[in-house]
Amino acid sequence: MEQHEHDAQTDLSPRTKVVALGRPERAPGASLNPPVTFTSTYVQDGPVNYARVDNPTWTPFEQAVGELEGGRALLFASGMAAVQAALSLVPTGGTVVAPAAAYNGVVVSLTEAQADGRVTVRWVDVTDSEAVAAALPGADLLWLESPSNPLLELADIAGLTAAAHEAGALVAVDNTFATPLLQRPLQDDVDVVVHSATKYLAGHSDVILGLTVTADTESGRELHTRLARQRTLSGAIAGPMEAWLALRGLRTLSLRLERACANAADL
């Protein structure tokens, strides 16, 4: 798969962006890397009093992934924490259309939520766009994962998003396997992008982290606020050291992805 080319706004290619984003302001003598802030509490009268709400070590990684995806990112303690935050957008008694072959943690979460009477799940084969479209009327959320883990199923993200919006449903896409260097679902009007940063983004098998990303539009900003509140109240927050390691790992995303794609092509 081809990585995206230059961004017209910044004239930087994503390959450069993964190296350059999230750096502190350049000044003589300044560090090239952000510091790690270990704190539970901040001195009163600033924007945030308590580190379950925000941590300055999250910010550069969130800014980097947000910019790569073309939206605003929120860092979570794991991919599953980000998944749960996105699923929390579904009202109690709501309906989710979801891939039968989604990541197992998502399938189990939705199966248990349905068994508890919290949601109705319509399981679909996402490679069959007509079947997905037929399941959409009355749904609150369409969940997609493309390519999926582990079957690498592909969904028509743009077409299904348009159909879901016509039916009044939000759309969440788990972009863990493609990464924003290969696919940017917000450009297809998707409402929430979800990542297990544990995989390609961090890339070194040394952290568990997740993200949501929403568009910088009025509805996207509203979703961002709801997801941030969910993060604060669930307490599913990243440790600052993990956030720092993930940003360091992101620096080599483009190179790692090139090799992964080349290896896959060989196989």
Ligand X SMILES: Cc1ncc(COP(=O)(O)O)c(C=O)c1O
Choosing from 210, 224, 246, 250, the residue that interacts with ligand X (CB under 6 A) is 210
Count Cα neighbours of 31 within 13 Å in the Cβ-side half-sphere.
6
Minimal distance in Å, beta carbon 204 to ligand X? 14
Smaller CB separation from ligand X, 136 or 207? 207
195 vs 209: CA distance, rounded Å? 8
| Closer CB to ligand X, 133 or 160, in the complex | 160
* CB contact set of 92 (below 8 Å; sequence gap of 6+): 118, 119
The reply to whether 42 belongs to the active site is no
- Taking contact as CB under 6 A, which single stretch among the options 15-23, 75-83, 114-122, 157-165 is the one that binds ligand X? 75-83
Please pick, among 15, 17, 72, 103, the residue that the annotation labels catalytic. Answer: 103
C-alpha–C-alpha distance, residues 203 and 249, integer Å: 6
Structure tokens at 192: 């929430």
Catalytic pick among 23, 52, 248, 251: 52
User: With contacts defined by CB under 6 A, how many residues of the chain interact with ligand X?
Assistant: 15
Please, are residues 171 and 223 in contact by the beta-carbon 8 Å criterion? no
Indicate which single residue of 57, 95, 196, 254 sits in contact with ligand X (rule: CB under 6 A): 196
User: What is the largest distance, in Å, between two alpha-carbon atoms of the chain?
Assistant: 60
State the minimum distance, in angstroms, from the CB of residue 77 to ligand X.
Answer: 8
**Cα separation, 70 vs 52, whole angstroms:** 25
* Residues 88-147 contacting ligand X, CB under 6 A: 103, 105, 145
Active site residue 52: yes
- Which positions from 22 to 61 touch ligand X by CB under 6 A, shown as an x/- string? ----------------------------------------
Would residue 199 show up in a list of annotated catalytic residues for this protein? yes
Residue with tokens 């003598």: 29
Which of 118, 199, 221, 226 is labelled catalytic?
A: 199
Using CB under 6 A, pick the residue from 59, 161, 176, 254 that binds ligand X: 176
**Would you call 174 a catalytic residue per the annotation?**
yes
| C-beta nearest to ligand X: residue | 79
The SS3 assignment for 258 reads helix
Structure tokens at 116: 């508890």
Helices (H), the chain: 14-20, 58-69, 79-87, 104-115, 129-135, 157-166, 218-234, 240-250, 253-266
- Name the site residues for ligand X (rule: CB under 6 A): 78-80, 83, 103, 105, 145, 149, 174, 176-177, 196, 198, 208, 210
Active-site annotation, residues: 52, 103, 174, 199
